[in-house]
Structure 1
Amino acid sequence: MNAYLDIIIRSTAVYLFMVIALRIFGKKQLSQLNTADVILILLISNSVQNAMVGSNTSLFGGLAAALVLFLVNMAFKKLIFKYKKLGDFLQDKPEILIHNGKLEFDTLSKLGISSDELYEAIREHGLERYKDVKLAMLEIDGNISVISGDSTLKQTHHKRRIHKSLHSENA
């Protein structure tokens, strides 16, 4: 088999595996990277490198694999946009975390979102209590959006992460 055709097939297979793996492990993992997650990403990239290029360690082999990944990603995005059912299968839906001041405990438990994380999100949106939240959603990108019932408050977007100041306090 042609060496570059082999790289194309291998790279496409690895891409599809990673898309499915990320779908299984959920959107929360995408927006909340800690040290262990970064290490995991580095190890995965190292472990699948040989799966994509095989014994071809040339510059052109690596560039071919990278090009294939970009092209497959672009094609996937177009397919997801064109075919709603494929998009529904591959992408999560937004999840309601708080509705009219009432916590959705089942959803929070299913998503593994702690009360501390939720409190942080509502505080970053200028609110103090759950009861002040009209709607809080875990968006498809893993961020938490909060809408208050108070029209004078500015609505913001909370990216789920561990605040830098918490690392220095625990050290």
Structure 2
Amino acid sequence: MNPYLDIIIRSASVYLFMVIALRIFGKKELSQLNTADVILILLISNSVQNAMVGTDTSLWGGLAAATVLFVVNFILKKLMFRYKRLNNLLQQKPEILIHNGKIDFDILSKLGITSDELTEAMHEHGVEYYKDVKLAMLEIDGNISIISGDKNLKQTHFKRKRAHKSLGGIN
């Protein structure tokens, strides 16, 4: 087999594996990387390097692998934009945490969001009490958005801080 075709197949396979792995481990893990997450990402990139380039550690082999990753990423994003079912499969949906002052404890528990994190997000948005929140959502990028009835609130962005856990997931 042509060595560059081998690199193309290997790189595309690793890319698709990583997309699926990130989909399984969830959006909340992507909102803010801590030290353990950065280390995990570096180790993953090192561990899959040989899987992508095989024995070809030349400059051209590395450039071929990087080019394949960019191209596959570009194609996947275009396909996700064009095909809603693929987008729904690969991209998670926003989750409603509070609706009209009522907290959805089941969703908070499922997502591993503590009441302290939710309170911190509310304070970042200038809201003191849960009852004043019209809508609080965990967005697909891992941020928590807060909408209240107060027209004087400023727009802020709250990056969810992940509780320190074992390296069981990549958030």
Matches within 5 A, 1:120-159: 120-159=120-159
1:87-98 pair list within 5 angstroms: 87-98=87-98
Q: Give the Cα separation in 2 of the matches to 1:143 and 1:83.
A: 25
2:85 is paired with a residue whose SS is helix
1:68 aligns with 2:65: no
More helix by share: 1
Instruction: Tell me how far apart the structure 1 counterparts of residues 35 and 116 of structure 2 sit (CA, whole Å).
Output: 19
Q: Which 5+ residue runs of structure 1 have no aligned equivalent?
A: 163-171
Alpha carbons 1:148, 1:155 under 8 Å: kept: no
8 Å CA contact 1:146–1:157 kept in 2: the answer is no
Please say if residues 31 and 160 of structure 1, whose CA atoms lie closer than 8 Å, have aligned partners that are also in contact: yes
Structure 2: 5+ residue stretches without partners: 163-171
Q: Is the 8 A contact 1:146 1:155 kept in 2?
A: no
Instruction: Kindly provide the CA deviation profile for residues 36-62 of structure 1, in whole angstroms up to 9, marking residues without a partner as x.
Output: 111111110000000000010001100
TM-score, scaled to structure 2: 0.92
Provide TM-score, normalisation by structure 1: 0.92
CA positional deviation for 1:160: 1.6
> Relative contact order (C-alpha < 8 Å, sep 6+): which is higher?
2
Give every structure 1 segment of 4 or more consecutive aligned residues whose post-TM-superposition deviation is greater than 6 Å: none
CA shift digits 1:93-152 (9 cap, x unpaired): 010001111111010010011111111111100111111111000011111111011112
**Match status 1:46 vs 2:42:** no
1:165 — aligned with what? none
Aligned residue pair count: 162
Shift of 1:159: 1.7
Q: Percent identity?
A: 79
